[in-house]
Structure 1
Amino acid sequence: MNDFIVPIVTPFTSDNTIDKAKLRRHADYLFKNGVDQLLLAGSTGLGPSISTNEKISLLEEFEDLPDKVILQVGGLDIEESKSLAMAAKKHNIAAIAALPPYYYPRVPEEWYSRYFREISEIYPTLAYNFPLTTGYNIFPPLIKKVNREGGNIIGIKETLPDLAHMLNFKWEFSPSFKVYCGPDPLIYPSIKAGMDGVVAGSGNYAPSLVNAIISDMDNNGMKSQKTLSTLTSVVQKYGQWAANYSMIRILLKYDAGMPRSPMYALSTEQENALEKEVTALLNAKQ
């Protein structure tokens, strides 16, 4: 069985505070529509803009469903990351995820391994590989070194358009090590190749379409993947980090809040244009 994880959007209000009611409503909808777990404060959730206290409040919002959530704790302050790992341990959630330290170039490899070890020795961790945003690409030898020295990296979320890179982790580690596909266009080929599941941002607004790929690989999975890939390419034109919120209104017909600036919400005109494109696309696929 393949895991379907959604990096849930974080609903914000017009004054940039988190709207907990809209967060929970959206989460409940996703759980009812085939989503197994949520990644809190990930890239799609605008995690880098969320404070430590806010991240802890997200954990508290799901204290009744600890096995359903994963918290992204990585950042540039190791003490904050460790504090969040301890909070995750206290709430007994499924796992934590951690981006490598970002922004700074020419960081020694040893610093990355030490960083991941210090976090993962506190709580089971998914390495979060997103080299486009972090400037660093995680490879199997780093994870092996971390675990050999006392860390506990239990899997990886691969957010890069490189299926061969994902396969390296499947080949280099035991079956218990989870390898998750991040890019929406690679869901079908990654599952076909043996990955353990997906962490799909498009699951926020098209969970049924993602499920159609995962659950029907031998029949209509490729067709569903083509539709999803075309859909996400349209969303990206409008700035996906904000357009995700608009897509929830367009396809799911409810409000999941707005992004936090400087990821600026689409204007009414932009959202209407997006809706027109999406409607035309989906009607053409029927």
Structure 2
Amino acid sequence: MTKWTGVFPAVTTKLTQNGNVDIQATKDSIDRLVRNGVSGVIVLPMLGENASMTLPEREAIIRAAVEVAAGRVPVLSGLAEITLDNAKANAKLYESFGAQGLMVFPSLGYKTDPRETVEWYKGIASASSLPIMIYNNPIAYGVDVTVDILRELVDTPEIVCIKEETGDIRRVTDMYIEFGDRFSIFCGVDDLIVESSALGVTGWVSGMTNVWPAECVELFGLCAQNKYPEARTLYHILTPSFHLDTHVKLVQYIKLAENLVYGAPEWTRAPRLPLVGAEREHVVSTVTKAIDALAQRSEKAA
């Protein structure tokens, strides 16, 4: 059975100013992530503007990611659809494009009840041989894959991982009590990673790792080694920026942060618009403070 562990950034899709996919910039960012020690990458997550991409664009992004990863880390793709038929068809397609796993959203067009949620994930699992990470984000999508629902999915072998993003830290422990190590449990909220690590999560789907991959990998490693005093010091530097990952405009926020830190294009596809005014100043100030604090930390360590 597939066992994913470590830091898996939810990769932003780089765009040109006129809204076209910038494949080379996307490949460069993925290579940067891998070189800085991430354990996997997830293209076409919500942060990657999945729902705004055409199928040919998704194919190009997945194939480019697989090419640049070159077997160094697994490449997962987000799967975000409205109907089960489309989800099943695209699960097969993404497998043919080279994806090595799927991060599966609930239906984007309808808030399924528990019975329907079970059938949604079972149906998608039956469509390909790819291992599946359930993207459980009821705050954004209105569907909570609860312990009771997971109990109905425990015998579906393709479902191997839960991205836990309820914001209720107790859920991590509840899943371990109920299922032991049946599922890999990943933290899906940047500003809960240290808390989640203390409860035993095996991985982290992270937005701000796009910005600071080496530091986020270091933070996860410190927690894994039970070096919590050191982890908290780094966490205190990064947490104001991690809060940007939980805002409705996280795509714009994180892309702007990437631009500030390493020059990646900040452009998004409409209806998302570039940040302006006080909101932009807040993001710039928050990220700049972290840049300065990380530089001071490096100087002290030298």
Which runs of 5 or more residues in structure 2 are unaligned? 297-302
RMSD, matched Cα: 2.5
Which has the larger displacement, 60-69 or 1-10?
60-69
* Residue number among 149, 164, 177 corresponding to 1:142 in the alignment: 149
Q: Residues 1-286 of structure 1: matches in 2 within 5 Å?
A: 2-64=5-67, 65=70, 67-105=73-111, 107-121=112-126, 122=128, 123-148=130-155, 150=156, 152-217=158-223, 218=227, 219-233=229-243, 239-252=249-262, 254-267=263-276, 271=280, 274-283=283-292, 286=296
The percentage of aligned residue pairs carrying the same residue is: 18
Q: Structure 1, residues 134-154: CA drift from partner, whole Å, max 9, x if none?
A: 111111222232343x56211
Q: 1:22 to 1:178 in 2, by over 3 A?
A: same
TM-superposed CA distance for 1:284, in Å, is 5.4
- The amino acid of 1:163's aligned partner reads I
Residue by residue over 1:186-241, the C-alpha shift from the partner in whole angstroms, topping out at 9 and shown as x without a partner, is: 11111121101100101011222212311223141011112221123367789322
**Separation in structure 1 between the aligned mates of residue 264 and residue 181 of structure 2, nearest angstrom:** 39
Pairwise CA distance, 1:68: 2.2
* Separation of aligned partners in 1, 2:135 and 2:79: 10
Instruction: Tell me, in whole angstroms, the C-alpha distance in 1 between the residues paired with 2:191 and 2:283.
Output: 19
Structure 1 residues not aligned, in runs of 5+: none
TM-score normalised by length of structure 1: 0.88
CA deviation profile, 1:32-55 (whole Å, cap 9, x unmatched) = 111121111112112122233322
Alpha-carbon shift at residue 73 of structure 1 (Å): 1.0
> Conserved in 2, the CA contact under 8 Å of 1:243 and 1:265?
no
Q: Partner amino acid for 1:111?
A: E
The answer as to whether partners of 2:62 and 2:98 remain within 8 angstroms in 1 is: no
**Aligned equivalents of 2:100, 2:190: Cα separation in 1:** 23
How far apart in 2 are the matches of 1:51 and 1:101? 17
Once residues 56 and 248 of structure 2 are traced to their aligned partners in structure 1, the CA distance between those partners, rounded to angstroms, is 31
Q: Partner letter of residue 252 of structure 2?
A: A
